[in-house]
Amino acid sequence: MSTLQPDWRKRFSQLRAVVTIEMRRYFFTRQALAIYLLALAPVVIIGLHAITSPLGRHCNIAEDTEILAGIIQLFYVHLGIFFGCLILFTWLFRGEIVQRSLHYYLLAPLRREIIVLGKFIAGAVTTSIIFCVAVSLSFIFMYGHFGPKGQQFVFDGPGLHHLGAYLVITVLACFGYGAIFLALSLIFRNPVIPGAFFFGWETISSVLPATLQKFSITFYLKNLAPVELSGKGLLSVFTVVAQPVSEFIAIPGFFLFIGLALYFACWRMRTIEISYAKD
């Protein structure tokens, strides 16, 4: 056993090196700019709402709570985080191939699984930070303009619990979509088309049979939402929970889903060859 320990220590420091190298890049790329736009668009809208309705003159907390739940579940989870992760994670390996720099990793004495995990962790942490900041700002603006009533809701009512749940949903969505898009980018030269297919799948998953729903990220995340949305008409497609499950099943199920996607990505990475000319 003692001979194995240094190997694991070395692998951990290699993983840390990959994460550090990658994270230094992600916050300042063109891709990151698009993610900032996706993340901050609702913040701007809620900020304007807060300015136009000081001390909650034209609204009430119950209504705004439902609006915030809608923004997070429908905009952030379905669109913002989805496309943010599509942009970043499909570029992790594809970008290296386009820039012809993937061989620097492949020629280093580290297992290819560590490259996949390192890039995944760096991407997931980056998107989580950006979207958690955006969700937190949305939350602050949404309740801040109510003044003392808002403070009471946040600190003495269910507010902090809601915020905690939204942040957990945000982080899980970043990790879940990230794992899927990372795996897709290792199969398809242009992952946008399978990404669009996956978007369609996520959208209609609520109306699919119960077994198929389990192959969807939103299935697990909906069950963690603190506020149930009462969607009507077409919106109900996004909001219905056909078969609710407890968070004790949803979270492990979600991690199993992520694990499968990453396992596939690692397997694919082990067989990858450098052929820049073809790409």
User: Which residues of the chain form contacts with another protein (CB under 8 A)?
Assistant: 7, 10-11, 13-14, 17-18, 20-21, 25, 96, 99-101, 103-112, 271, 273-276, 278
Minimum distance from residue 105 beta carbon to another protein (Å): 7
- Sort residue 169 into left (φ over 0), alpha (ψ -120 to 50) or beta: alpha
User: Which residue, 62 or 107, is less far from another protein as judged by CB?
Assistant: 107
Residue type for position 36: Y
Contact by Cβ (8 Å): 121, 20? no
User: Which residue, 112 or 162, is less far from another protein as judged by CB?
Assistant: 112
CA atoms within 13 A on the CB side of 16: 6
Minimum distance from residue 106 beta carbon to another protein (Å): 6
Closest CA to 235 of 65, 74, 66: 74
Minimum distance from residue 4 beta carbon to another protein (Å): 12
Minimum distance from residue 103 beta carbon to another protein (Å): 6
User: Which residue, 3 or 271, is less far from another protein as judged by CB?
Assistant: 271
Minimum distance from residue 226 beta carbon to another protein (Å): 41
Closest CA to 224 of 167, 268, 263: 167
Helices (H) and strands (E) in the chain, counts: 13, 0
User: Which residue, 87 or 172, is less far from another protein as judged by CB?
Assistant: 87
Contact by Cβ (8 Å): 85, 170? no
User: Which residue, 110 or 260, is less far from another protein as judged by CB?
Assistant: 110
User: Which residue, 75 or 267, is less far from another protein as judged by CB?
Assistant: 267
Output the DSSP codes for 180-206: HHHHHHTT-SSTHHHHHHHHHHHHHGG
CA–CA separation, 125 and 257 (whole Å): 18
User: Which residue, 17 or 79, is less far from another protein as judged by CB?
Assistant: 17
Minimum distance from residue 17 beta carbon to another protein (Å): 4
Minimum distance from residue 180 beta carbon to another protein (Å): 25
Between the CA atoms of 37, 38, 44 and 50, what dihedral angle is there, to the nearest 10 degrees?
A: -160
Phi, psi of 10 (to 5 degrees): -65, -45
Contact by Cβ (8 Å): 163, 67? no
